[in-house]
Structure 1
Protein backbone atom coordinates (compact mmCIF):
# COMPACT_ATOMS: atom_id res chain seq x y z
CA UNK A 1 0.00 0.00 0.00
CA UNK A 2 1.37 3.41 -0.98
CA UNK A 3 2.28 5.78 1.83
CA UNK A 4 -0.31 8.48 2.57
CA UNK A 5 2.32 10.83 3.95
CA UNK A 6 2.36 14.06 1.95
CA UNK A 7 5.44 16.13 1.13
CA UNK A 8 5.72 19.59 2.73
CA UNK A 9 3.65 22.24 0.96
CA UNK A 10 6.72 24.49 0.80
CA UNK A 11 8.58 21.82 -1.21
CA UNK A 12 5.63 21.40 -3.58
CA UNK A 13 5.47 25.16 -4.08
CA UNK A 14 9.21 25.34 -4.76
CA UNK A 15 8.90 22.56 -7.34
CA UNK A 16 5.94 24.10 -9.19
CA UNK A 17 7.45 27.59 -9.33
CA UNK A 18 10.78 26.17 -10.53
CA UNK A 19 8.96 24.16 -13.20
CA UNK A 20 7.16 27.29 -14.38
CA UNK A 21 10.30 29.43 -14.55
CA UNK A 22 12.82 26.77 -15.59
CA UNK A 23 15.34 28.21 -13.13
CA UNK A 24 16.17 27.79 -9.46
CA UNK A 25 17.40 31.39 -9.43
CA UNK A 26 14.14 32.81 -10.77
CA UNK A 27 12.07 30.60 -8.48
CA UNK A 28 14.06 31.90 -5.52
CA UNK A 29 13.26 35.49 -6.55
CA UNK A 30 9.57 34.72 -7.04
CA UNK A 31 9.27 33.10 -3.60
CA UNK A 32 11.61 35.54 -1.85
CA UNK A 33 13.92 32.71 -0.80
CA UNK A 34 17.55 31.86 -1.46
CA UNK A 35 18.56 29.72 -4.43
CA UNK A 36 20.05 27.22 -2.01
CA UNK A 37 16.72 26.89 -0.17
CA UNK A 38 14.85 26.21 -3.42
CA UNK A 39 17.42 23.68 -4.59
CA UNK A 40 17.38 21.83 -1.27
CA UNK A 41 13.57 21.76 -1.20
CA UNK A 42 13.41 20.23 -4.68
CA UNK A 43 16.14 17.68 -3.90
CA UNK A 44 14.29 16.70 -0.75
CA UNK A 45 11.09 16.25 -2.76
CA UNK A 46 12.88 14.09 -5.33
CA UNK A 47 14.32 11.95 -2.54
CA UNK A 48 10.88 11.62 -0.98
CA UNK A 49 9.32 10.57 -4.29
CA UNK A 50 12.22 8.36 -5.29
CA UNK A 51 12.49 9.86 -8.76
CA UNK A 52 14.19 12.76 -10.53
CA UNK A 53 11.89 15.65 -11.39
CA UNK A 54 14.41 17.82 -13.26
CA UNK A 55 17.28 17.44 -15.66
CA UNK A 56 19.80 19.99 -14.47
CA UNK A 57 21.99 22.03 -16.81
CA UNK A 58 24.12 25.12 -16.31
CA UNK A 59 21.79 28.03 -15.52
CA UNK A 60 18.57 26.15 -16.26
CA UNK A 61 16.54 23.05 -15.47
CA UNK A 62 14.09 21.01 -17.52
CA UNK A 63 11.34 18.68 -16.36
CA UNK A 64 11.70 14.95 -16.72
CA UNK A 65 8.62 13.01 -17.92
CA UNK A 66 7.91 12.15 -14.28
CA UNK A 67 8.35 15.80 -13.38
CA UNK A 68 5.87 16.89 -16.08
CA UNK A 69 3.27 14.42 -14.88
CA UNK A 70 3.75 15.45 -11.26
CA UNK A 71 3.55 19.15 -12.10
CA UNK A 72 0.33 18.68 -14.09
CA UNK A 73 -1.20 16.82 -11.16
CA UNK A 74 -0.28 19.09 -8.25
CA UNK A 75 -0.24 22.60 -9.77
CA UNK A 76 -4.07 22.80 -9.99
CA UNK A 77 -4.31 21.44 -6.44
CA UNK A 78 -2.00 24.17 -5.11
CA UNK A 79 -4.05 26.81 -6.96
CA UNK A 80 -7.23 25.40 -5.43
CA UNK A 81 -5.68 25.50 -1.95
CA UNK A 82 -4.60 29.13 -2.45
CA UNK A 83 -8.08 30.13 -3.65
CA UNK A 84 -9.85 28.32 -0.81
CA UNK A 85 -7.52 29.93 1.72
CA UNK A 86 -8.19 33.42 0.35
CA UNK A 87 -11.94 32.83 0.40
CA UNK A 88 -11.82 31.52 3.97
CA UNK A 89 -9.89 34.59 5.10
CA UNK A 90 -12.44 36.90 3.49
CA UNK A 91 -15.33 35.02 5.09
CA UNK A 92 -13.83 35.01 8.56
CA UNK A 93 -15.59 37.51 10.83
CA UNK A 94 -13.58 40.66 11.43
CA UNK A 95 -13.60 42.33 14.81
CA UNK A 96 -13.70 45.93 16.01
CA UNK A 97 -13.14 47.01 19.61
CA UNK A 98 -14.49 50.47 20.47
CA UNK A 99 -13.85 52.52 23.59
CA UNK A 100 -15.98 55.56 24.38
CA UNK A 101 -16.47 57.96 27.27
CA UNK A 102 -19.31 56.61 29.39
CA UNK A 103 -21.82 59.44 29.01
CA UNK A 104 -21.60 59.53 25.21
CA UNK A 105 -21.63 55.74 24.90
CA UNK A 106 -24.69 55.19 27.08
CA UNK A 107 -26.77 58.14 25.92
CA UNK A 108 -25.89 58.56 22.26
CA UNK A 109 -23.62 55.98 20.61
CA UNK A 110 -25.31 52.73 21.68
CA UNK A 111 -28.62 53.78 20.16
CA UNK A 112 -26.94 54.30 16.79
CA UNK A 113 -24.65 51.26 16.66
CA UNK A 114 -27.28 48.95 15.08
CA UNK A 115 -27.15 51.22 12.03
CA UNK A 116 -23.42 50.65 11.68
CA UNK A 117 -23.76 46.92 12.37
CA UNK A 118 -26.31 46.60 9.57
CA UNK A 119 -23.71 48.03 7.16
CA UNK A 120 -21.08 45.54 8.39
CA UNK A 121 -22.99 42.35 9.30
CA UNK A 122 -19.82 40.21 9.47
CA UNK A 123 -18.14 42.53 11.96
CA UNK A 124 -17.84 41.39 15.57
CA UNK A 125 -18.08 44.58 17.68
CA UNK A 126 -17.04 44.89 21.32
CA UNK A 127 -17.59 48.00 23.44
CA UNK A 128 -15.68 49.41 26.41
CA UNK A 129 -16.58 52.41 28.58
CA UNK A 130 -13.81 54.91 29.24
CA UNK A 131 -13.28 57.18 32.20
CA UNK A 132 -12.05 60.74 32.16
CA UNK A 133 -8.64 61.86 30.96
CA UNK A 134 -8.04 58.85 28.70
CA UNK A 135 -5.29 59.62 26.18
CA UNK A 136 -4.45 56.22 24.71
CA UNK A 137 -6.11 53.35 22.86
CA UNK A 138 -5.78 50.97 25.79
CA UNK A 139 -5.97 47.92 23.53
CA UNK A 140 -8.99 49.16 21.54
CA UNK A 141 -9.03 49.63 17.78
CA UNK A 142 -10.68 53.03 18.09
CA UNK A 143 -11.61 55.25 21.05
CA UNK A 144 -13.76 58.35 21.47
CA UNK A 145 -12.38 60.57 24.21
CA UNK A 146 -12.81 64.02 25.75
CA UNK A 147 -9.64 66.09 25.65
CA UNK A 148 -8.48 69.67 25.84
CA UNK A 149 -8.68 71.50 22.53
CA UNK A 150 -5.39 73.19 23.40
CA UNK A 151 -3.48 69.91 23.76
CA UNK A 152 -5.27 66.93 22.21
CA UNK A 153 -3.41 63.60 22.06
CA UNK A 154 -1.00 63.28 19.17
CA UNK A 155 -2.74 61.97 16.08
CA UNK A 156 -6.24 62.44 17.53
CA UNK A 157 -9.00 63.36 15.07
CA UNK A 158 -11.42 66.11 16.11
CA UNK A 159 -15.05 64.98 16.27
CA UNK A 160 -17.21 67.53 18.11
CA UNK A 161 -16.72 70.51 20.44
CA UNK A 162 -18.29 70.03 23.84
CA UNK A 163 -21.00 72.66 24.36
CA UNK A 164 -23.18 72.76 27.48
CA UNK A 165 -26.86 73.64 27.14
CA UNK A 166 -29.52 74.13 29.85
CA UNK A 167 -32.25 71.48 29.88
CA UNK A 168 -35.09 70.28 32.07
CA UNK A 169 -37.99 67.85 31.96
CA UNK A 170 -41.01 69.35 30.13
CA UNK A 171 -43.18 69.31 33.26
CA UNK A 172 -40.97 71.85 35.00
CA UNK A 173 -41.80 74.41 32.35
CA UNK A 174 -45.25 73.52 31.07
CA UNK A 175 -46.90 73.82 34.47
CA UNK A 176 -44.69 75.33 37.18
CA UNK A 177 -47.65 75.46 39.55
CA UNK A 178 -47.78 71.69 39.94
CA UNK A 179 -44.01 71.14 39.93
CA UNK A 180 -41.81 71.44 43.02
CA UNK A 181 -39.24 74.21 42.97
CA UNK A 182 -36.58 72.83 40.63
CA UNK A 183 -33.02 72.44 41.78
CA UNK A 184 -29.79 73.04 39.91
CA UNK A 185 -28.35 69.66 38.98
CA UNK A 186 -24.62 69.08 38.66
CA UNK A 187 -21.49 71.15 39.05
CA UNK A 188 -21.47 73.14 35.80
CA UNK A 189 -23.78 76.01 36.74
CA UNK A 190 -20.93 78.30 37.73
CA UNK A 191 -20.28 78.52 33.97
CA UNK A 192 -23.79 79.78 33.24
CA UNK A 193 -24.44 83.52 33.29
CA UNK A 194 -28.09 83.77 32.22
CA UNK A 195 -30.10 84.89 35.29
CA UNK A 196 -33.41 84.02 33.61
CA UNK A 197 -32.48 80.36 33.77
CA UNK A 198 -31.02 80.27 37.26
CA UNK A 199 -34.02 82.20 38.64
CA UNK A 200 -36.25 79.25 37.74
CA UNK A 201 -34.32 77.02 40.09
CA UNK A 202 -35.41 77.86 43.61
CA UNK A 203 -34.84 74.44 45.14
CA UNK A 204 -31.61 73.09 46.64
CA UNK A 205 -28.68 72.17 44.44
CA UNK A 206 -28.17 68.49 43.58
CA UNK A 207 -24.46 67.71 43.39
CA UNK A 208 -23.86 64.93 40.87
CA UNK A 209 -20.44 64.46 39.29
CA UNK A 210 -21.25 61.96 36.54
CA UNK A 211 -22.85 63.37 33.40
CA UNK A 212 -25.10 60.32 32.97
CA UNK A 213 -26.40 60.78 36.52
CA UNK A 214 -27.11 64.46 35.86
CA UNK A 215 -28.99 63.51 32.71
CA UNK A 216 -31.06 60.89 34.54
CA UNK A 217 -31.93 63.37 37.29
CA UNK A 218 -33.02 66.00 34.78
CA UNK A 219 -35.07 63.43 32.87
CA UNK A 220 -36.79 62.47 36.13
CA UNK A 221 -37.82 66.08 36.71
CA UNK A 222 -35.52 66.72 39.65
CA UNK A 223 -34.22 70.05 38.40
CA UNK A 224 -32.38 71.99 35.71
CA UNK A 225 -29.17 70.59 34.24
CA UNK A 226 -26.39 72.02 32.13
CA UNK A 227 -25.36 69.14 29.87
CA UNK A 228 -23.28 68.44 26.75
CA UNK A 229 -25.49 68.94 23.70
CA UNK A 230 -24.54 65.64 22.06
CA UNK A 231 -25.14 63.64 25.24
CA UNK A 232 -28.71 64.92 25.67
CA UNK A 233 -29.52 65.06 21.94
CA UNK A 234 -31.77 62.00 21.89
CA UNK A 235 -33.67 63.08 25.01
CA UNK A 236 -34.34 66.46 23.43
CA UNK A 237 -35.38 64.86 20.15
CA UNK A 238 -37.78 62.49 21.91
CA UNK A 239 -39.28 65.22 24.09
CA UNK A 240 -38.01 63.77 27.36
CA UNK A 241 -36.13 67.02 27.93
CA UNK A 242 -36.66 70.60 26.79
CA UNK A 243 -33.96 73.11 25.99
CA UNK A 244 -34.34 76.21 28.17
CA UNK A 245 -32.31 78.69 26.13
CA UNK A 246 -30.70 78.96 22.69
CA UNK A 247 -27.50 79.93 24.45
CA UNK A 248 -24.74 77.44 25.17
CA UNK A 249 -21.49 77.37 27.10
CA UNK A 250 -18.41 76.49 25.07
CA UNK A 251 -15.72 74.62 26.93
CA UNK A 252 -12.07 74.06 26.22
CA UNK A 253 -12.79 70.41 25.52
CA UNK A 254 -13.86 68.40 22.53
CA UNK A 255 -14.60 64.83 21.58
CA UNK A 256 -11.71 63.28 19.67
CA UNK A 257 -11.19 59.99 17.84
CA UNK A 258 -8.03 57.96 18.30
CA UNK A 259 -7.48 54.96 16.05
CA UNK A 260 -4.97 52.15 15.76
CA UNK A 261 -2.71 52.48 12.69
CA UNK A 262 -3.31 48.79 11.90
CA UNK A 263 -7.07 48.97 12.36
CA UNK A 264 -7.81 48.36 8.71
CA UNK A 265 -11.05 48.94 6.86
CA UNK A 266 -13.27 48.24 9.89
CA UNK A 267 -11.79 51.24 11.71
CA UNK A 268 -11.89 53.44 8.61
CA UNK A 269 -15.54 52.60 7.98
CA UNK A 270 -16.50 53.18 11.61
CA UNK A 271 -14.77 56.56 11.78
CA UNK A 272 -16.50 57.73 8.58
CA UNK A 273 -19.86 56.49 9.89
CA UNK A 274 -19.29 58.18 13.27
CA UNK A 275 -18.43 61.51 11.66
CA UNK A 276 -21.61 61.34 9.58
CA UNK A 277 -23.70 60.61 12.68
CA UNK A 278 -22.26 63.59 14.54
CA UNK A 279 -22.76 65.85 11.52
CA UNK A 280 -26.42 64.83 11.39
CA UNK A 281 -26.81 65.98 15.02
CA UNK A 282 -25.12 69.32 14.46
CA UNK A 283 -28.16 70.95 12.84
CA UNK A 284 -30.05 73.29 15.20
CA UNK A 285 -33.50 71.87 15.84
CA UNK A 286 -34.49 72.81 19.38
CA UNK A 287 -36.05 76.14 20.28
CA UNK A 288 -35.80 77.82 23.64
CA UNK A 289 -38.45 77.66 26.33
CA UNK A 290 -39.21 81.21 27.44
Structure 2
Protein backbone atom coordinates (compact mmCIF):
# COMPACT_ATOMS: atom_id res chain seq x y z
CA UNK A 1 0.00 0.00 0.00
CA UNK A 2 1.36 3.37 -0.99
CA UNK A 3 2.40 5.67 1.83
CA UNK A 4 0.26 8.79 2.24
CA UNK A 5 1.92 12.18 2.14
CA UNK A 6 1.85 14.25 5.33
CA UNK A 7 -1.14 16.50 4.75
CA UNK A 8 -1.36 19.75 6.77
CA UNK A 9 -4.69 18.80 8.32
CA UNK A 10 -4.87 21.70 10.77
CA UNK A 11 -4.26 24.20 8.00
CA UNK A 12 -6.75 22.51 5.69
CA UNK A 13 -9.39 22.57 8.42
CA UNK A 14 -8.78 26.26 9.06
CA UNK A 15 -8.98 27.10 5.35
CA UNK A 16 -12.17 25.05 4.88
CA UNK A 17 -13.84 26.86 7.78
CA UNK A 18 -12.85 30.27 6.39
CA UNK A 19 -14.01 29.36 2.87
CA UNK A 20 -17.36 28.07 4.14
CA UNK A 21 -18.07 30.91 6.57
CA UNK A 22 -16.50 33.75 4.57
CA UNK A 23 -14.70 35.44 7.47
CA UNK A 24 -11.57 34.67 9.47
CA UNK A 25 -13.34 35.75 12.69
CA UNK A 26 -16.21 33.31 12.14
CA UNK A 27 -13.78 30.50 11.35
CA UNK A 28 -11.83 31.35 14.52
CA UNK A 29 -15.01 31.17 16.62
CA UNK A 30 -15.96 27.79 15.18
CA UNK A 31 -12.51 26.33 15.74
CA UNK A 32 -12.12 27.96 19.18
CA UNK A 33 -8.87 29.70 18.21
CA UNK A 34 -7.85 33.29 17.55
CA UNK A 35 -8.34 35.24 14.33
CA UNK A 36 -4.57 35.39 13.97
CA UNK A 37 -4.23 31.61 14.30
CA UNK A 38 -6.60 31.02 11.39
CA UNK A 39 -4.83 33.64 9.30
CA UNK A 40 -1.44 32.05 9.95
CA UNK A 41 -2.75 28.60 9.02
CA UNK A 42 -4.15 29.92 5.72
CA UNK A 43 -0.90 31.74 4.90
CA UNK A 44 1.06 28.59 5.73
CA UNK A 45 -1.18 26.50 3.49
CA UNK A 46 -0.61 28.91 0.61
CA UNK A 47 3.13 28.57 1.11
CA UNK A 48 2.88 24.76 1.03
CA UNK A 49 0.66 24.80 -2.06
CA UNK A 50 2.80 27.37 -3.83
CA UNK A 51 -0.28 29.30 -4.97
CA UNK A 52 -2.47 32.09 -3.63
CA UNK A 53 -5.76 30.81 -2.20
CA UNK A 54 -7.15 34.19 -1.14
CA UNK A 55 -7.00 37.70 -2.54
CA UNK A 56 -8.06 41.22 -1.60
CA UNK A 57 -7.71 43.33 1.53
CA UNK A 58 -7.45 41.62 4.90
CA UNK A 59 -10.91 42.73 5.99
CA UNK A 60 -12.54 41.53 2.75
CA UNK A 61 -10.62 38.45 1.60
CA UNK A 62 -12.04 36.46 -1.30
CA UNK A 63 -11.08 33.08 -2.70
CA UNK A 64 -8.98 32.81 -5.83
CA UNK A 65 -9.86 30.26 -8.50
CA UNK A 66 -7.39 27.82 -6.87
CA UNK A 67 -8.96 28.56 -3.51
CA UNK A 68 -12.44 27.88 -4.88
CA UNK A 69 -11.36 24.48 -6.26
CA UNK A 70 -9.68 23.49 -3.00
CA UNK A 71 -12.63 24.71 -0.94
CA UNK A 72 -15.12 22.62 -2.96
CA UNK A 73 -12.98 19.51 -2.59
CA UNK A 74 -12.43 20.06 1.13
CA UNK A 75 -16.14 20.72 1.67
CA UNK A 76 -17.10 17.36 0.17
CA UNK A 77 -14.30 15.59 2.04
CA UNK A 78 -15.17 17.04 5.45
CA UNK A 79 -18.86 16.32 4.88
CA UNK A 80 -18.02 12.66 4.21
CA UNK A 81 -15.69 12.49 7.20
CA UNK A 82 -18.33 14.00 9.47
CA UNK A 83 -20.96 11.54 8.25
CA UNK A 84 -18.62 8.58 8.73
CA UNK A 85 -17.72 9.79 12.21
CA UNK A 86 -21.38 10.12 13.16
CA UNK A 87 -22.14 6.62 11.89
CA UNK A 88 -19.22 5.10 13.79
CA UNK A 89 -20.11 6.97 16.97
CA UNK A 90 -23.77 5.97 16.68
CA UNK A 91 -22.77 2.32 16.30
CA UNK A 92 -20.50 2.61 19.34
CA UNK A 93 -23.32 4.17 21.36
CA UNK A 94 -25.56 1.21 20.50
CA UNK A 95 -23.08 -1.36 21.86
CA UNK A 96 -22.40 -1.61 25.59
CA UNK A 97 -19.24 -3.49 26.52
CA UNK A 98 -19.67 -5.03 29.97
CA UNK A 99 -16.85 -6.66 31.94
CA UNK A 100 -18.29 -9.38 34.18
CA UNK A 101 -17.13 -12.17 36.45
CA UNK A 102 -17.32 -15.27 34.29
CA UNK A 103 -19.65 -17.56 36.23
CA UNK A 104 -22.26 -14.85 36.78
CA UNK A 105 -22.12 -14.07 33.07
CA UNK A 106 -22.62 -17.75 32.15
CA UNK A 107 -25.13 -18.75 34.78
CA UNK A 108 -27.22 -15.61 35.23
CA UNK A 109 -26.55 -12.57 33.05
CA UNK A 110 -26.30 -13.96 29.50
CA UNK A 111 -29.37 -16.25 29.78
CA UNK A 112 -31.44 -13.17 30.67
CA UNK A 113 -30.15 -10.74 28.06
CA UNK A 114 -32.89 -11.63 25.58
CA UNK A 115 -35.27 -9.76 27.89
CA UNK A 116 -33.09 -6.66 27.77
CA UNK A 117 -32.79 -6.82 23.98
CA UNK A 118 -36.56 -7.20 23.62
CA UNK A 119 -37.04 -4.05 25.69
CA UNK A 120 -34.19 -2.13 24.03
CA UNK A 121 -33.74 -3.48 20.48
CA UNK A 122 -31.57 -0.48 19.58
CA UNK A 123 -28.89 -1.58 22.06
CA UNK A 124 -26.61 -4.59 22.17
CA UNK A 125 -24.58 -5.98 25.07
CA UNK A 126 -21.09 -7.43 24.63
CA UNK A 127 -19.89 -9.35 27.68
CA UNK A 128 -16.22 -9.99 28.45
CA UNK A 129 -15.06 -12.23 31.28
CA UNK A 130 -12.89 -10.40 33.82
CA UNK A 131 -12.14 -10.62 37.54
CA UNK A 132 -9.53 -8.04 38.49
CA UNK A 133 -9.89 -4.51 39.84
CA UNK A 134 -11.79 -2.16 37.55
CA UNK A 135 -9.77 0.56 35.81
CA UNK A 136 -11.67 2.37 33.07
CA UNK A 137 -8.55 4.35 32.12
CA UNK A 138 -6.81 1.16 30.99
CA UNK A 139 -9.62 -1.17 29.91
CA UNK A 140 -12.08 -0.48 27.06
CA UNK A 141 -15.18 -1.36 29.10
CA UNK A 142 -18.32 0.76 29.42
CA UNK A 143 -19.28 -0.90 32.70
CA UNK A 144 -18.20 -3.75 34.98
CA UNK A 145 -19.88 -6.25 37.28
CA UNK A 146 -17.92 -7.49 40.29
CA UNK A 147 -18.67 -9.42 43.47
CA UNK A 148 -17.14 -7.30 46.21
CA UNK A 149 -17.80 -5.79 49.64
CA UNK A 150 -16.97 -2.28 48.49
CA UNK A 151 -15.69 -0.42 45.44
CA UNK A 152 -12.69 1.85 45.80
CA UNK A 153 -11.09 4.16 43.30
CA UNK A 154 -11.75 7.65 42.07
CA UNK A 155 -14.07 8.61 39.26
CA UNK A 156 -16.31 5.54 39.54
CA UNK A 157 -19.86 4.91 40.72
CA UNK A 158 -21.05 1.54 42.02
CA UNK A 159 -24.62 0.26 42.31
CA UNK A 160 -25.19 -2.91 44.37
CA UNK A 161 -27.95 -4.85 42.66
CA UNK A 162 -27.82 -8.42 43.99
CA UNK A 163 -27.13 -9.86 47.45
CA UNK A 164 -24.79 -12.83 47.69
CA UNK A 165 -25.36 -16.08 49.59
CA UNK A 166 -23.06 -19.07 49.55
CA UNK A 167 -23.06 -22.66 50.71
CA UNK A 168 -21.86 -26.21 49.95
CA UNK A 169 -23.29 -27.86 46.84
CA UNK A 170 -23.03 -31.48 45.82
CA UNK A 171 -24.60 -33.96 43.40
CA UNK A 172 -28.10 -34.84 44.56
CA UNK A 173 -27.35 -38.52 45.06
CA UNK A 174 -24.44 -37.73 47.38
CA UNK A 175 -26.65 -35.59 49.60
CA UNK A 176 -29.29 -38.25 50.26
CA UNK A 177 -29.46 -39.04 53.97
CA UNK A 178 -27.20 -36.10 54.88
CA UNK A 179 -23.72 -35.17 53.75
CA UNK A 180 -20.64 -36.31 55.63
CA UNK A 181 -18.14 -33.50 55.14
CA UNK A 182 -15.40 -35.52 56.80
CA UNK A 183 -15.50 -38.26 54.17
CA UNK A 184 -16.47 -36.37 51.01
CA UNK A 185 -13.78 -35.03 48.66
CA UNK A 186 -13.46 -31.24 48.99
CA UNK A 187 -13.63 -29.16 45.80
CA UNK A 188 -11.73 -25.86 45.45
CA UNK A 189 -11.03 -23.19 42.86
CA UNK A 190 -7.50 -21.93 42.39
CA UNK A 191 -8.51 -18.27 42.58
CA UNK A 192 -10.57 -18.63 45.77
CA UNK A 193 -9.17 -21.39 47.94
CA UNK A 194 -10.40 -19.54 51.05
CA UNK A 195 -14.05 -20.19 50.12
CA UNK A 196 -14.51 -22.97 52.67
CA UNK A 197 -12.95 -20.94 55.49
CA UNK A 198 -15.18 -17.98 54.61
CA UNK A 199 -18.31 -20.13 54.59
CA UNK A 200 -17.41 -21.64 57.96
CA UNK A 201 -16.91 -18.15 59.40
CA UNK A 202 -20.17 -16.78 57.98
CA UNK A 203 -22.27 -19.84 58.83
CA UNK A 204 -20.74 -20.90 62.14
CA UNK A 205 -20.51 -24.48 60.85
CA UNK A 206 -17.16 -26.13 61.60
CA UNK A 207 -15.51 -27.71 58.59
CA UNK A 208 -13.59 -30.92 59.30
CA UNK A 209 -10.55 -32.04 57.37
CA UNK A 210 -11.42 -33.76 54.11
CA UNK A 211 -9.93 -37.05 52.88
CA UNK A 212 -9.08 -35.47 49.54
CA UNK A 213 -8.98 -32.03 47.91
CA UNK A 214 -9.52 -31.39 44.23
CA UNK A 215 -8.72 -28.02 42.64
CA UNK A 216 -10.11 -26.45 39.48
CA UNK A 217 -9.07 -23.39 37.51
CA UNK A 218 -12.53 -21.80 37.40
CA UNK A 219 -15.65 -21.96 39.52
CA UNK A 220 -17.77 -23.18 36.63
CA UNK A 221 -15.39 -26.13 36.20
CA UNK A 222 -15.76 -26.92 39.90
CA UNK A 223 -19.54 -26.78 39.64
CA UNK A 224 -19.55 -29.28 36.79
CA UNK A 225 -17.31 -31.53 38.91
CA UNK A 226 -19.87 -31.28 41.70
CA UNK A 227 -22.68 -32.18 39.31
CA UNK A 228 -20.60 -35.18 38.23
CA UNK A 229 -20.41 -36.44 41.80
CA UNK A 230 -16.71 -35.71 42.28
CA UNK A 231 -17.10 -33.95 45.64
CA UNK A 232 -18.60 -30.97 47.47
CA UNK A 233 -17.73 -27.34 46.78
CA UNK A 234 -18.76 -23.86 47.91
CA UNK A 235 -20.78 -21.75 45.46
CA UNK A 236 -22.77 -18.53 45.46
CA UNK A 237 -26.49 -19.27 45.39
CA UNK A 238 -27.19 -17.33 42.21
CA UNK A 239 -24.80 -19.55 40.24
CA UNK A 240 -26.55 -22.80 41.19
CA UNK A 241 -30.20 -21.80 41.63
CA UNK A 242 -31.21 -23.35 38.31
CA UNK A 243 -29.16 -26.52 38.88
CA UNK A 244 -30.75 -27.00 42.31
CA UNK A 245 -34.24 -26.40 40.91
CA UNK A 246 -33.53 -28.95 38.17
CA UNK A 247 -32.21 -31.53 40.62
CA UNK A 248 -28.66 -31.54 39.26
CA UNK A 249 -27.27 -30.24 42.54
CA UNK A 250 -28.33 -30.22 46.18
CA UNK A 251 -27.49 -27.80 48.99
CA UNK A 252 -27.83 -29.89 52.17
CA UNK A 253 -26.85 -26.99 54.47
CA UNK A 254 -28.69 -24.24 52.62
CA UNK A 255 -27.02 -20.86 52.08
CA UNK A 256 -25.80 -18.08 54.30
CA UNK A 257 -25.31 -14.38 53.39
CA UNK A 258 -21.87 -12.89 52.75
CA UNK A 259 -20.71 -9.29 53.20
CA UNK A 260 -20.02 -9.07 49.46
CA UNK A 261 -22.65 -8.05 46.91
CA UNK A 262 -22.76 -7.92 43.14
CA UNK A 263 -22.12 -4.34 41.97
CA UNK A 264 -22.52 -2.62 38.62
CA UNK A 265 -19.56 -0.25 38.35
CA UNK A 266 -19.65 2.67 35.91
CA UNK A 267 -17.13 5.40 35.09
CA UNK A 268 -17.68 8.63 36.94
CA UNK A 269 -17.48 10.64 33.72
CA UNK A 270 -20.72 10.83 31.74
CA UNK A 271 -21.41 7.18 30.86
CA UNK A 272 -22.31 6.00 27.41
CA UNK A 273 -25.92 6.37 26.42
CA UNK A 274 -27.79 3.15 27.18
CA UNK A 275 -26.01 2.36 30.44
CA UNK A 276 -28.82 3.95 32.46
CA UNK A 277 -31.29 1.59 30.79
CA UNK A 278 -28.98 -1.36 31.43
CA UNK A 279 -28.59 -0.44 35.11
CA UNK A 280 -32.36 -0.11 35.58
CA UNK A 281 -32.96 -3.45 33.86
CA UNK A 282 -30.26 -5.14 35.94
CA UNK A 283 -31.84 -3.96 39.20
CA UNK A 284 -35.31 -5.08 38.05
CA UNK A 285 -34.00 -8.49 36.96
CA UNK A 286 -32.12 -9.01 40.23
CA UNK A 287 -35.32 -8.27 42.17
CA UNK A 288 -36.93 -11.33 40.53
CA UNK A 289 -34.13 -13.69 41.59
CA UNK A 290 -35.42 -16.56 43.75
CA UNK A 291 -34.57 -16.50 47.44
CA UNK A 292 -32.09 -19.17 48.53
CA UNK A 293 -32.86 -21.93 51.03
CA UNK A 294 -31.33 -20.60 54.21
CA UNK A 295 -28.73 -22.24 56.42
CA UNK A 296 -29.73 -25.47 58.15
CA UNK A 297 -27.67 -27.70 60.42
CA UNK A 298 -29.61 -30.93 60.25
CA UNK A 299 -27.80 -32.03 57.10
CA UNK A 300 -24.42 -32.01 58.85
CA UNK A 301 -23.12 -35.44 59.67
CA UNK A 302 -19.53 -35.80 60.80
CA UNK A 303 -17.73 -39.00 61.65
CA UNK A 304 -15.80 -39.24 64.87
- Conserved in 2, the CA contact under 8 Å of 1:183 and 1:223? no
Partner of 1:260: 267
TM-score using structure 2 length: 0.62
The superposition leaves residues 81-116 of structure 1 with CA deviations (integer Å, 9 ceiling, x where unpaired) of 33234334545796836142x654565456567887
Among 236, 246, 261, the alignment partner of 1:228 is 236
CA RMSD, Structure 1 to Structure 2 (Å): 4.8
**252-261 or 206-215, which moves further after superposition?**
206-215
Secondary structure of the structure 1 residue equivalent to 2:129 = strand
**235-244 or 121-130, which moves further after superposition?**
121-130
Within 5 Å, which residues of 2 pair with 1:1-290? 8-47=8-47, 48=49, 50-58=51-59, 60-64=60-64, 67-68=67-68, 71-72=71-72, 74-90=74-90, 96=97, 98-100=99-101, 104-105=104-105, 107-109=107-109, 125-130=127-132, 139-140=138-139, 141=141, 142-148=143-149, 152-153=151-152, 155-164=157-166, 167-172=169-174, 176=177, 182-184=179-181, 186-187=196-197, 188-189=199-200, 191-192=202-203, 212=219, 215-216=223-224, 218-221=226-229, 227-244=235-252, 248-261=255-268, 264-265=272-273, 271-272=279-280, 274-280=282-288, 282-284=289-291
1:64 to 1:193, Cα distance in 2 relative to 1, 3 A? closer
Distance 2:201 2:85 in 1: 62
- Conserved in 2, the CA contact under 8 Å of 1:14 and 1:27? yes
Distance 1:37 1:49 in 2: 20
- Number of matched pairs: 267
Q: 1:12: Cα distance to partner?
A: 3.4
1:205 to 1:270, Cα distance in 2 relative to 1, 3 A? farther
1:104 to 1:137, Cα distance in 2 relative to 1, 3 A? farther
Distance 1:137 1:205 in 2: 44
**204-213 or 152-161, which moves further after superposition?**
204-213
Distance 1:27 1:122 in 2: 39
